[in-house]
Chains A and B, each alone.
Chain A
Amino acid sequence: MTETPVKVLVVDDAATVRLYHTSLLSEAGFHVEEAANGLEAVESALTTAYDLFVVDVNMPKMDGYSCVETLRSETVGTPAPVLMISTEDRPGDADRAYAAGANLYMVKPVSSERLVRVARMLTAGSGIPA
C-alpha cells in the first residue's frame, strides 16, 4: 500500500479523553497524535501537516477557541478540518466555535460510532480511511 493514512491531532488536557479518542480513531485506521493544550497543538501543527484536528474547549495555557483561531491564522494557516468536542453546552458555544474556524462542534459524551463517522466525513478525500 502506498496510500498515506489520515493524520489526526487529538487536543485535550485530559489524559483519559486523549486515550479514548486516540484509541477509537486508531482502531478506525487513522494515524493519531496528541497534544495536551492549545499551544502544544499549535506547535505540533507548525511542524506536521494534519488532516484533522479534534479539539477540546477548556484547556490550560490556550483554550480551544483560541487554539482554533491560531490554527486558522497566519501563524499556522492550516486548511484542515477542525472538530471541537466540549463538555460545555452553554448557549452560543457552537457559534463561537464556528466563528473561530471550527467545522463542527459537538458536546460530550460522543459515542464511538459517532466520532468515527464524523472523523471520516470530515476527512473524506484525504487518503485512507475515507
Chain B
Amino acid sequence: MGLVRRNAPPPEETAAPPSIDTLMSQLDDPDPDCRREAALGLGGADEAVPALLSRVAGEAEPAVRDAMLTTLAAHDTAAVAEGLAVHLATDDAGLRTAAAEALATMPVAVPAIVPRLLADPDHDVRVMTAMVLADLPHPGSQTWLAQMIAEDEHPNVVTAAIDALLPSLGPEHHDLLRAAVERFPEDPFLRFTVEAALR
C-alpha cells in the first residue's frame, strides 16, 4: 500500500496504434467513447475525411462530434471547408456554431468559399459567416467584414459584422460605420454599437 510505481507498461502502451481501416470502422461503433477515440485517432488521415464529414451532422454525442471537428479542421482543404460550411445553415444551434468555430481555424481553404457565403440568401448563414470571419486568421477577413457592413441588407448581419471587425477597427472604418447607421436608422442596437465604437 502507499505510493506505487507502475513498472510494466500496460499492453496498449507497447501496442501499435490501430490501423486507419480499424479506426474508420470504429466510427460506427455503438460505444460513443470508441467513436470518439476513432475520430481523434484519424487525425492526419486524408482517406478518412469523407467518412468523418458524412457523420458530423448525424452524431448525437457532443463529445464525439467535437472530436470529429477537431480532426477535420486540421485538414484545411476545400473539401472540408465545403463540407462544414453546409452546417452553417442547420437548425441545430450546437452544430452550426461548432462548424463556424472549425471553419474559423481554416485560413487556407475558407477564403475560397467566403464570397458564396456572403451572398447566401439566408441571413442567418451570413450572421454565422461573420462569426467565422471574426476569428479567421486571414488578411482578407477585415475586407469581407467591411463589405458586409457596407452592403448587407439585413441589420443583424451588419451588427454581427461590426462586432467581428471591432478588434481591428481603425479610423479608416468610421465612415463605413456612420453609413451603416444611416441605412438602418430604426435599429437601436446598431446605433448604440456604432456610437460606442466611434467614441
Contacts and interface: CB of A to CB of B under 8 A. Distances in A.
B160 A87 contact: yes
B128 A58 contact: yes
A14 B187 CA distance: 17
A54 to B, nearest CB: 13
Contact of B93 (A15, A57, A61): A57
Q: How large is the interface on A (under 10, 10 to 19, 20 to 34, 35 or more residues)?
A: 20 to 34
B163 A109 contact: no
B94 A59 contact: no
B27 interface: no
B127 A65 contact: no
Contact of A58 (B97, B166, B193): B97
A71 B131 CA distance: 24
Interface string A58-86: 11111111100000000000000000000
Interface of B: 62, 91, 93-94, 96-97, 100-101, 124, 127-128, 131, 155-156, 159-160, 162-163, 166, 187-190, 192-193, 196-197
Interface of A: 13-17, 19-20, 23, 57-66, 87-88, 90, 92, 96, 108-112
19 contacts: A14-B163, A15-B163, A16-B189, A16-B197, A17-B189, A20-B196, A23-B192, A57-B93, A60-B100, A60-B131, A63-B93, A63-B94, A64-B93, A87-B156, A87-B160, A88-B93, A108-B159, A108-B189, A110-B189
